[in-house]
Amino acid sequence: MEYRYTRRYYQPVVSPDPTEKSGKEVMSKGSTGMEVILSSLENSRDVQTTLNILCIVSELLTVGRGRRVGVFVSKGGTGVLFQLLINASKEFPPSEELMLQLHSLLAKVGPKDRKFGVKARLSGALNVTINLMKQNLLNNKLLLPCLQVLRVYSTNLVNAVSLGKNGVVELMFKIVAPYSKKNTSLLKVALDALGALLKSKTNARRAVDGGFVTVLLTLYLDWHRNDTRHRHMLIRKGLLVCLRNITNIKLGRKAFIEADGMRILYNTSTECLPVRTLDPLINTSSIIMRKCFPKNRLPVPTIKSAFHFQLPNVPAAGPVAQLYNQPPGGRKNHQLCNKPLKKVDDVVDESDDNEEADADTENDTENDDDDKDLLVANDDIETDLNKLHPKRNPGRPLEELKVYERFFLELSEDFQGYNFDCSKSASTTSASSPFSSSSATTQSSRPIIVPTAQALSPKHVPVPSSQKDCNSTKGKHTLPSPSAPTPTLPAPLTPLELDTIHLTKDQDKKEKSHIPSPDTGTKLSPSQGQMIQQELANVLERVSLEEAGVLKAEEEGGNGDKQEESPVSATRHIQSPLLLGGIAARRVGGGGSNFGSDCGSEGAEDEGGEGAVLEVPDTALLLPLHDPDLYVEMVKGTRSVPEYAEVAYPDYFGHVAPTFKEPLLERVYGVQRSKIYQDIERLIHPNDILDKAVYDLDIPSCPVIEDNGESLKFNSQFESGNLRKAVQVRKYEYDLVLNSDVNSNHYHQWFYFEVSGMRVGTVYRFNIINCEKSNSQFNYGMQVLMYSVQEAISGRPRWVRTGADICYYKNHFARSSIAAGGQKGKSYYTMTFSTTFSHKDDVCYFAYHYPYTYSTLKMHLAKLEALRTPQIYLRQDNLCETLGGNDCPLLTITAMPESNSNDHICQFRNRPLIFLSARVHPGETNASWVMKGTLEFLMGTSPLAVSLREGFIFKIVPMLNPDGVVNGNHRCSLSGEDLNRQWQNPNPELHPTIYHTKSLLQYLVHMQRTPLVFCDYHGHSRKKNVFMYGCSVKETVWQSNITATSSDLQEDLGYRTLPKILSQIAPAFSMGSCSFVVERSKESTARVVVWREIGVQRSYTMESTLCGCDQGKYKGLQIGTRELEEMGAQFCVSLLRLKRLTGLRNHQHLLDLENDIMTHTKVVSSSTTTYVLEEDEPDFLEAIDYSAESNDEDAEAEIEQVGEILEIPDQLSDSETNHRE
């Protein structure tokens, strides 16, 4: 009776042949149909009735994708099924059909129920499923749904541990082994369940103790050999996933190595390489092998810098204090030492959780997983509205700041004693110019070794100190003494000046409306002034810095080739004795260069050495601001911790930007994987590895280790050089170790070194093995830079992009937790590239980016001052002395008043101030090249430059960190600290340049002369294009979850004007990459402090890419010095346009003029502000290559679906990334 009643009860709900309509009605939002079904299931006591209802439920859940399952879960369906399972297990024997139906439904419902594992454990369903499996190991029909449910159970870590204790791990190995091609679908599910179980460390140890690592390797090898048609790739992948999870623990890695797992996976992966569809297997094998590769220390005695500088006082806390508390090592008292450490400071972390704790970083992002990015970003955004509203805070009283009045003579100068008719006046030159050759000579009497391009002598003869005062064979270009008038240097024949500006209305046209640059300093006529205003009112899309002849050559030659005719046709003759004007000469060629150390040299002179006359390129035609002799004079006054006595050839003879295009390197598929496998071969075939040190700065007496001539020779003992050690690992392969920043144990990125003794046409591989950043533009088209001495002698003195098979990936060298900020289990990264050399007896230099030394800056400033016209007000002051004893230059540039009348003097004094700085991070050399472009434009004679000087007073600190630049640091000063994190509270002893620069700004606040614009030039290593970071209350609030009133959000939108202008006139500039969000972690940077404390609304960091551009005119090209200098000039033009658009003399009350910009120019699309977590190193937005050791489950699932992996995914713009998220 009950049975018939139940059937009649359900008859109206679902007919024997249910339609889609009735199914929708049951599963609809307001329907109670599902509740009725579940109630009937609970009350059913008849097996057949229960089966009928379960069939109905199964049909309902089959359609509608996951939505219906969600409704079923929300109605408590999971609990009902578990209760039925418990009740059915109490029957003896249990109904096989009912168990099959229940487990099939549970396998379908489980993935949609977040609390499925907890419900299963609390209800006791885990044991039911386990017992059912144990009793039906040969019943594949019932075993399959049980395994499917077990796979879901095991995703809960507590369940996995519980199942392991009940012997499920051993049970699973009975199912998956031995090898058999029967029931492959069941085997695939079993391996998935086993892989989930082995994520538990307890279960992984249980598998190791049971000897199952060998079982898994044997199974994988059997499947690899027998699956010739690759139809069972998912089974092979499942076996690898089990191995990967076991090797997450130290015991598992040990067992894997003892079972010869490295060799098995290496051989099988090598055989899979030709088949691209097997990439998921190769990827997972690579992860396992790299994980099990024994962690090694770097081959250095200490991770501290090889150079040590004793600080006047050590901070009480922080990384520098921690460094000083470590055991001694490296250099002491400015001298190298090679004493072993009592306690090694780069120990290898052997904890079991090192890999799992590092799971987030396995994706090669410095931050958390993508799902956490937004949360992390919001956590760093400043949410305190009181801090977001800038409040001027002079900090120090005016009495203390009055000492800085001497740096602002232009604000009080009356020019009464100035003769406006004379050619030049000493009143515009500082009475204490720090760059005169006389002062440079008195600072240092050590001999300076310079290259002379001699192809005869490979040896260097030490020069007696008594000869250091010998007269030069050439006249010296030096600055005059402070009391004497500055003589005018002879102008070059056809100088390539940056003020040769061409304004065009079409980027793609070669025709230009040329604005002439007058040779004399005559005053602009009204018509010329109108012409400037008219040009600026028109669409100003770009500023071309190419000389007309260069442009013509490009038109004729197209893209050009790297072997085109020499741009330098003239030569200069240099005598070739061992002394060159009292400077020890370094010979080049003849089997390699010399490195300034004896290293067993007898010191004998070579044949025919003294009488030779060398022809070397005269770069003055294209480099009017470069003079080799003047550069050497400047080197004499530069102080370094290692006391460098050599000059690098590229710095001596300069760099002429090539006219050909250098496109981003297109990555060959599989190149990174092949490099990784070559590294793994070191463990597989250790006898093939030479492991011979050929250069070592930790051996002070002789860093160049002599050999039989079979190895390359290295050198980095020159200004800005950085290479600590070179180890020959194979005949043509070298591991290179970079030096840490002085007083630091990390920051390895900048490199600059010399190589000689190469063979022509041989492919050499160089591996920089102690990089620290989790990703690099070297993965996305960036190449290293090389300078060939032979090419320079042939008339092509230039840095060129070079290198093939370039990639960047995590290696097996362990980082100390001390150097990794307390994080354990971190590894270093390798940047590898291959190259061939074209010339015999060549000497080549490699660099991270275009070098720009401190001595180069001093030389450029001296040349700029010498070329000054009477209408330019230029003053060079020494702002302060650095820790290392170098001067920090401060420049003041503006236009001289027309006369000494009151009106003209008043206009002169009341010009708005622009404050610029650069090179606070030594490794960001591109910032100096941008600054060079700015300085050359400001000192130019074009009408635009004249108008700019007449409109503003420029205060410029071109190099905020001279010590870091000189000593080859990447980020820090000699204090071992990032100076761009010291602006809130700089220490006058440890951070003098920051302290005094901030004091200058504080003085201006007291004088009510707050700058109109502050901009700090930087370089960016992980993004393309040029862009700006600014400060905005509105945009910061928009990116956070804080509530603010309309009054809180009131601010002048003028902070966007300058970046908007740049996006329209500078082809390398990207408005979409700009950000105006204020972050807590950046509150001590120059940008935020100047905005918040000094009250400069337009306070920016301008970031220039180290790589290239992905938009605009330079899309797909690597950036060069020409484009960087162009950017510096275009920044100046944008300031002039800003002045024209505002039309206001009182720069304190500028209005937002974006609408005015848009009406005068073409519409330029720009995305909204993109929040970036890190100002100087924001999140890398490009997807990382799979073989950079990704250990992400979701990524692997995606790999399986796609079937093949692209090694170089397209880079997403910031706006696209936000849209996808």
Residues taking part in catalysis: 1103
Helices (H) and strands (E) in the chain, counts: 44, 25
User: CA-based Rg of the chain, rounded to a whole angstrom?
Assistant: 35
912-950 burial, b for 16+ CB within 10 Å, e for fewer?
A: bbbbbbbbbbbbbbbbbbbbbbbbbbbbbbbbbbbbbbb
* Burial class of residue 900 in the structure, from the number of CB atoms within 10 Å of its CB (0-12 exposed, 13-18 middle, 19+ buried): middle
The residue behind tokens 């000189």 is: 966
Q: Which of 1066, 1074, 1101, 1097 is nearest to 1086 (CA)?
A: 1101
Residues 6+ apart with CB under 8 A from 316: none
* Burial class of residue 750 in the structure, from the number of CB atoms within 10 Å of its CB (0-12 exposed, 13-18 middle, 19+ buried): buried
Residue 512: CB atoms within 10 Å = 16
318-355 burial, b for 16+ CB within 10 Å, e for fewer?
A: ebbeebeebeebbbeeeebeeeebeeebbeebeebebb
User: Which contacts of 322-329 are long-range, i.e. CB under 8 A and separated by 24 or more positions?
Assistant: 322/818, 323/743, 323/744, 323/745, 323/976, 326/818, 329/301, 329/302, 329/304
Question: What whole-number distance in Å separates Cα of residue 408 and Cα of residue 877?
Answer: 10
Task: Tell how strand 887-895 and strand 953-957 pair up.
Answer: antiparallel
Residue 367: CB atoms within 10 Å = 18
Q: Please give the backbone phi and psi of residue 643, each rounded to the nearest 5 degrees, phi first.
A: 55, 60
Residues 6+ apart with CB under 8 A from 1157: 1057, 1060, 1061, 1064, 1141
Length of the chain: 1221
Give me the sign of the Cα torsion angle 333, 338, 342, 344.
positive
Residues 6+ apart with CB under 8 A from 519: 941
Q: Which of 661, 593, 662, 648 is nearest to 787 (CA)?
A: 648
1070 DSSP assignment:
-
The angle formed by the CA atoms of residues 140, 144 and 145, to the nearest 5 degrees, is 135
Sheet containing strand 804-814, strands side by side:
692-696, 725-730, 733-737, 764-771, 827-835, 804-814
Query: For 826, how many CA atoms within 13 A lie in the half-sphere containing its CB?
Result: 22
Q: Please give the backbone phi and psi of residue 787, each rounded to the nearest 5 degrees, phi first.
A: -125, 120
Taking each helix axis from N to C terminus, what angle separates 279-292 and 671-684, rounded to the nearest 10 degrees?
Answer: 40
Three-state DSSP class for residue 386? helix
The number of angstroms, rounded, from the C-alpha of 1004 to the middle of its chain's C-alpha atoms is 35
Q: Which two tokens stand for residue 398?
A: 């005016």
Q: Which two tokens stand for residue 26?
A: 């049951």
Question: What whole-number distance in Å separates Cα of residue 1029 and Cα of residue 1059?
Answer: 9
Q: Which of 927, 816, 850, 857 is nearest to 1176 (CA)?
A: 927
